[in-house]
Amino acid sequence: MITLSIDAMGGDHGPKVVLPALLTVLSRRSDVRFLIYGREEVVRPILDAHPRLAAASRFTHCEVEVRMDDKPSQALRQGRGKSSMWRAIEAVKLGEAEACISAGNTGALMAMSKFCLRTMANIERPAIAAIWPTVRSESIVLDVGATIGADAHQLVDFSILGAAMARALFEIDRPTVGLLNVGIEDVKGQEDVKDAARLLREADLSSMKYHGFVEGNDIGAGTVDVVVTEGFTGNIALKTAEGTARQIGTYLREAMQRTVMAKIGYLFAKGAFERLRMKLNVGKSNGGVFLGLNGIVVKSHGGADAEGFAAAVDLAYDMVRNRLLDRIEADLDLFHARHLRSGALRAEDESEPETEE
């Protein structure tokens, strides 16, 4: 059995979306159980209306809920130990649940997760990883908002975290990893990005294949399995892609309704348009994974519907089932062992005295 803790009060819609989503997940996964945290007067009536979900869940009343506009420091100060968000995260820390899912305030969720779970050994800062639909299939992009600015070592950490997630989610033995840059040439880009590329080439890890630099157009093309960048750039790229998908959908709907012939043409091509709609559906790729913590936390989009929140729960389930944390720890240990060894060898070479011929 896999137990997942749920912040029922998070997001724009709260329990009226979260609980139907859990029922959807339960209908396709018989080995999942839920620990649900929220306000009893809101959650209990919905839970009682779905006996099957109630039987597979344990509900805990929480008086405090984190609002979407709360500052992270405020949410941490007021909600520590009491809010539905904190209690859901704490369940992972205590070993009562194997992953936490919330659609709540991203900054508050990250602050509470870092404070409660702490970062893994050798990880300075966590990252948020997103699943990105591509022409080829799907890719992982990180960081999409947790760390604004990142040095070379943090970018290497993100590469290791993303590659481990790709192995767990996509079942790829050696996923390809690319560093997002302004060009693919080695001389281009900021020094931190170029230094990270050097470290990845030197490490030559068996858990990933370093592809090199990739550009913005490579993300949607699916050039690599994992695209690595810092949170400022990654978040802008994510929001731009989501907005572009909605923009294309709006254009298509307007075009199909413009004339009688367009409406007739739509009837003949309805199947093709439905496939395109599913491809552009942001909700089907919903769920950002907080990587680098001593526990799995998945952030659902705040405005997600029941289908979207169910996708985030499915993602958490898959991360647990495929032992994401074990993979990350093994990959980090391997890299840091090799990095220390190569650093020691370079130090020995530099310390050897020059000999005259």
Q: Among 153, 180, 179, 141, which Cα is nearest to 332's?
A: 153
Sign of the C-alpha dihedral computed for residues 178, 181, 186 and 189 taken in this order: negative
31 inside domain = yes
357 inside domain = no
Residue ending a domain, choose from 96, 117, 138: 117
Neighbours of 315 (CB within 10 A): 23
Shared domain for 157 and 28, answered yes or no, is: no
CATH of residue 152's domain is: 3.40.718.10
Lowest mean pLDDT among 27-41, 97-111, 225-239, 334-348: 334-348
Residue ending a domain, choose from 117, 150, 175: 117
309 inside domain = no
Sign of the C-alpha dihedral computed for residues 285, 291, 296 and 299 taken in this order: negative
Tell me the residue type at 217: N
pLDDT band at 287 (very low <50, low <70, confident <90, very high): confident
- C-alpha 175/C-alpha 157 separation (Å) is 15
Does the pLDDT of residue 47 top 70, yes or no?
A: yes
pLDDT score at 334: 80
- Mean pLDDT of all residues in 75-82: 84
Helix (H) or strand (E) holding 129: strand 127-133
Rounded to the nearest integer, the mean pLDDT of the chain is 86
305 inside domain = no
Strand pairing report for 296-299 and 99-102? parallel
136 inside domain = yes
Residue ending a domain, choose from 117, 149, 181: 117
- Mean pLDDT of all residues in 275-298: 78
pLDDT score at 333: 83
Lowest mean pLDDT among 42-46, 49-53, 59-63, 283-287: 283-287
Does the pLDDT of residue 123 top 90, yes or no?
A: no
198 inside domain = yes
Shared domain for 81 and 147, answered yes or no, is: no
Shared domain for 81 and 129, answered yes or no, is: no
Shared domain for 89 and 202, answered yes or no, is: no
Query: pLDDT tens-digit profile of 173-207?
Result: 899 999 999 988 888 888 999 999 998 988 878 88
Query: pLDDT tens-digit profile of 299-311?
Result: 998 888 899 999 9
Residue listed under structure tokens 């009688």: 260
Shared domain for 101 and 130, answered yes or no, is: no
pLDDT score at 108: 92
Q: Which pTM value belongs to this model? A: 0.84
Shared domain for 247 and 112, answered yes or no, is: no
299 inside domain = no
306 inside domain = no
Give the domain range for residue 19: 1-117
Query: pLDDT tens-digit profile of 250-284?
Result: 777 777 777 877 777 767 666 666 666 666 555 56
Shared domain for 92 and 129, answered yes or no, is: no
Number of domains, the chain? 2
pLDDT band at 41 (very low <50, low <70, confident <90, very high): very high
Does the pLDDT of residue 345 top 50, yes or no?
A: no
pLDDT score at 80: 83
- C-alpha 167/C-alpha 163 separation (Å) is 6
